[in-house]
Amino acid sequence: MKHTLPLLLAGLGLSFHTFAQTAPASPSTSRPALVTPPAAPRGTAGLSGTVTDSKTGQPVEYATVALLDQTTDKAVDGGICDDKGRFAFSKLAPGTYKVSISFVGYQTKVLDNVRLADGEVNLGGISLAATTQQLGEVKVTGERELVENKVDRIVYNADKDITNSGGTAADVLKKVPLLAVDLDGNVELRGSSNVRVLINNKPSTIVASSVADALRQIPADQIKTVEVITSPSAKYDAEGTGGIINIILKKNDLAGVNGSVNVSAGTRSSNLNTSLNARKGKVGVNANLGSFGFYNRGRGETFRRDFEGTTTIATLTQLSTNRTLGGGLYGQVGADYDLTPKDAFNISARGNLFRFNAPRTLSSEYITSAGPDIYSRDIEVDNQNRNLDLNFGYTKTLAKPRQEFSVLALYSVNKGLNEYDLDQFRPELIEPDYREQSFNDSRNREATFQADLVQPIDSTSTLEIGAKSILRQVNTDYQIEADSVDGRGFLLLPDRTNQFRYNQDVYSGYGTYGFSLQKVYSFKVGARVEHTRIGGDFFSNDTEISQQYTNFIPSVVASRDFGKDKSQKLKVSYTRRVQRPNIYFLNPYLNTSDPRIFSSGNPNLDAELTDSYELGYSTYIKKSNLNFSLYSRRTNNAIESVSSLEPLKRFITTDTTGAQVIYTTFQNVARNATYGMSVFGSTKLTEKWTVNGNVNTYYVTLKSSSLNTSNSGLMYNANISSSYQFDKGYSAQFSGFLNSPRVQLQGRTSAYQYYSIAAKKELFKKKGSISLGLDNPFNRTIRFRNELDAARFTSRSNNYVYNRGVRVSFNYQFGKMDNRASRPKKSIRNDDQKSGGDGQGQGQQ
């Protein structure tokens, strides 16, 4: 905290002075707030009116009204309606103007050729049409495409895809353009796993611990949209070399009292979700409570050869089976309050309880010149996780249209407990000859403070500045005990036991300037400075880590609209990204559940620096949308997974067998260059038939001088979805995904594909629906093949995951839903850590 305040004051002090000069005086009780820019021409004319809802006739509170010069479109004056929807301007120069009225949830309305002379002109009632319409008690949303291509992001409207019903967030992300999700739930964006995942524009320690686990805990029915941001501006945290994935959960901001119930049951996952929302006047509250469960099973096989020169010195054959059964509870409660027409508060809390059990069997045959080593292991893994996010936001609307100041705070805590028990058996024995148990307790805390100012310069340019601090602390305490069945019972293994504390503080400030030229050119330039301080302690061996560094992060985006109706857009962007390793990569916990394959994190990792370039073109042709992108990423000190053949005695000092194990960790050892192209398109073949598709292909080159190895190859992924609306409330949808073989520094992984089919029937006058979904109905399992080649060994493994699934889902909405859009809420975005996948290095087995 002592480092946060100086940075906030230094970054925003000048801006406070600027908007303090333009802050309006307190409004009188007889008329709404006025805005009087000192530079605007003054006269004796006046303008007033009342903004109302076109459907209900009720006033639209706090709508923004801008007065523009009719010829130049330059802003002359502006203000916000009062709680009766009224606005008024005085002391205006006579002339001809445009009046622009806008508010979140409504279509912007522009009145042309408004003539003012001496005296006041009353425009009377001005009605705004809502972007949502009301049909009885059921909200009917304007038709949206399944995938929308916006200037700075691609938006996948998950709530329009009926194949998602009853699934999890992992199922949803599999269908998002540019993304790939592997069988463990790990996410890649255009071939890069260095992405930042946000939930409702905010970070969460649940995601920081394990993206794969987080995706299992979010029911698909709770997801409204998924945003993919490939070239984040300087306003975003600098980490995530691949980009940002923002998962927006459903939230109802309508007036009155309403809610919904969602129930699904399936062969791989089930969930129950309830929501309740209430709004009256300036106050709104919302709550959500649900539970979820998931289950799966699989099997695997591994074949390995160890070498000394060109001579094979050992072979390993392993067969395994596994089952996973898990679930939990989640809840959320939030409130927002419009204290005044210019001051809005919001506060929310979201919590999760998550647990899964994963029994596993492993049979191993390791043959060397000394003879075979044959045994089997029964392993029981138990993972528990609790997470709580607390958010606070305050937004103040200032004098000019679009001018606002916000202060945001976030506190997030995640507590995990990972345990396993294993029994090892020999063929000649009935009882176990070795037993082991592990206890890994971890706690992640994160506090974030952020302040932002949006300062419009004129109607075509905007300045944004802000400051932010993120204070993280991670504590882990892991212990491993072993019983050699010699009568002494379980004894602590000091070489494999440790306490670890890790602190990471990031202080940053940014500025961006966006402007337009000739109504067809748009530019946004920015810069961000981030200072990082890292400290770590290993209490068991008195080892300490201390790092600090400062990064300058520029960003440039330029675009041009052209063609008929400006339906075509050309965009070019450049940004530098920083990739700090999170606890997944840093935690030194040694995973030894497989006695021949060990793994751990590396607490000495440095941050990556990546330069990203992109050239994009998009066009709309009748009912079709096409987007083409060329992109390049270059990283000089990339963090890569590195495997080596090591003597078992290095990790278990009491070993006398002379056995060898594969040890996998992470190192800054590679130069990573990626060159790619992506094509996305959507079209309506008929009024009821929609097709969307995406193809992403890229060439990757990985080189490591320290390991004297390199690898390269052409890769691709593609997805397609198609939906059809039948009569009488019936609809059907298909989606499929294909991922090519993947190149790694020391090997490659195989291709895989999956697909889903769903049908839906609306019920109860569109208040409810029932749907049936099928996942991979013609394939019992998905095979995932991994090849690993190093100087002293080769390894081939096949994992088979049972992915065929059937699920039935039911949804019902109740209550009155009046069309009243709430004020926009600000929230924190923490995008700054390299995220792990399945929790490796944190004690999961």
Mean pLDDT in residue range 180-193 = 66
Model confidence at 11: pLDDT above 80: no
671-700 pLDDT, tens per residue?
889 999 999 888 888 888 888 888 999 999
pLDDT band of residue 528 (cuts 50, 70, 90) is very high
Of 126, 42, 128, residue with least CA distance to 89: 42
Integer Cα distance of 567 and 573 in angstroms: 20
Check residue 839 and give left, alpha or beta (phi > 0: left; psi -120 to 50: alpha). Answer: left
pLDDT in tens, 608-630: 888 889 998 888 777 777 889 99
When comparing pLDDT for 17 and 200, which is higher? Answer: 200
- Distances 589 to 476, 496, 664, 843 between C-alpha atoms, Å: 9, 8, 12, 6
How big is the chain, counted in residues? 845
For residue 157, what are its two tokens? Answer: 């409207």
Query: E-strand spans in 518-581?
Result: 521-538, 543-562, 568-581
- Give the pairing of strands 833-834 and 568-581: parallel
Instruction: Quote the tokens at residue 41.
Output: 């021409």
Contacts of 371 (CB under 8 A, 6+ apart): none
Number of H helices, E strands in the chain: 5, 46
What fold, for 31-130? Immunoglobulin-like (2.60.40)
User: Are β-strands 256-266 and 768-775 bridged in parallel, bridged antiparallel, or unpaired?
Assistant: unpaired
pLDDT tens readout for residues 78-95: 777 876 788 888 778 888
Cα of 341 vs its chain's centroid, Å: 32
Q: Among 285-299, 336-350, 509-523, 534-548, where is mean pLDDT lowest?
A: 534-548
Contact present, 634 and 660 (Cβ < 8 Å): no
pLDDT exceeds cutoff 50 at 767: yes
Give per-residue pLDDT as tens, 303-342: 999 988 888 888 999 999 999 999 999 998 988 888 887 8
Question: How much is the pLDDT for 541?
Answer: 65
pLDDT score recorded for residue 210? 59
Tens digit of each residue's pLDDT (9 = 90 or more) over 155-169: 878 777 766 666 677
| CA distances for 596 relative to 369, 436, 662, angstroms | 17, 15, 6
Nearest to 431 by CA among 480, 382, 487: 487
Backbone φ/ψ region at 212: left (φ over 0), alpha (ψ -120 to 50), beta: alpha
Cβ neighbours of 614 (radius 10 Å): 21
Between 632 and 668, whose confidence is greater?
632
CA distances from 195 to 35, 244, 509, 702, 834 (A): 43, 6, 21, 19, 7
The reported pLDDT for the residue numbered 836 is 47
- For the segment 133-150, the average pLDDT, to the nearest whole number, is 49
* End-to-end C-alpha distance for the chain, whole angstroms: 37
Cβ within 8 Å of residue 71, ≥6 positions away = 96
- CA count, 13 A, side-chain hemisphere, 440: 26
Residues with Cβ within 8 Å of 814's Cβ and at least 6 positions away in sequence, in order, are 258, 259, 260, 261, 767
Is 256-834 in CATH node 2.40.170.20?
Answer: yes
CB 289 within 8 A of CB 350: no
Residue 468's pLDDT is 94
Per-residue pLDDT tens over the stretch 414-462: 998 889 999 999 998 889 999 999 888 888 899 999 999 999 888 788 8
Most confident of 17-21, 181-185, 222-226, 376-380: 376-380
Question: What mean pLDDT, rounded, does the chain reach?
Answer: 80
Q: What are the extents of the domains in the chain?
A: 31-130, 256-834
How many angstroms separate the CA atoms of 733 and 756, rounded?
8
Mean pLDDT value of segment 218-238: 76
What's residue 394's pLDDT? Answer: 92
Neighbours of 470 (CB within 10 A): 24
- How far apart CA 549 and CA 529 sit, in angstroms, is 11
- Alpha carbons 713 and 747: distance in angstroms, whole number: 11
- The overall pTM is greater than 0.75: no
Residue 788 near residue 640 (C-beta atoms within 8 A): no
Most confident of 510-514, 730-734, 825-829: 510-514
Which pLDDT belongs to residue 152?
Answer: 62
